Amino acid sequence: MAFLFGESLSYKPEKDSLTVYPEIAGSYPNFIFDINSDELELFEKTLLTASSEEKFDEVVLKWGVRRTHPQFWQIFHDFTQWQREQNPIDAGVFDANRYENL
């Protein structure tokens, strides 16, 4: 964003898009969705049609990995292991400081 205030004035919902990467992007995850490959199309459709906070909460409840998720650390450490296997030179520890508990 170029401006501190008036952010909503620049929204263009008709130009919004969704890209799902089959890998990790970045070092500072702010939220994790754990999706089985056979549910990917359903996830995409459900996320794209989540037009309210309540609908988005449903997506988070079904696929989201909150800090309180019983497998949070296992999933989080799986990222680190995947990165070590795929890109050992740049691998490191993911920073969970920015992780939100949607």
Pick the residue with more confidence: 16 or 39?
A: 39
User: Rounded CA gap, 23 and 39, in Å?
Assistant: 16
pLDDT digits (tens, 9 = 90+) for 56-101: 999 999 999 999 999 999 998 998 899 899 889 988 888 888 888 8
DSSP character string of 18-82: ----SS---S--S-EE---GGGHHHHHHHHHT--SHHHHHHHHHHHEE-TTSTTHHHHHHHHHHH
User: Rounded CA gap, 101 and 56, in Å?
Assistant: 13
What is the pLDDT, as a whole number, of residue 5?
67
What is the pLDDT, as a whole number, of residue 7?
67
Question: What residue ranges do the domains of the chain occupy?
Answer: 30-102
pLDDT digits (tens, 9 = 90+) for 19-62: 777 777 777 888 899 999 899 999 999 998 998 999 999 999 99
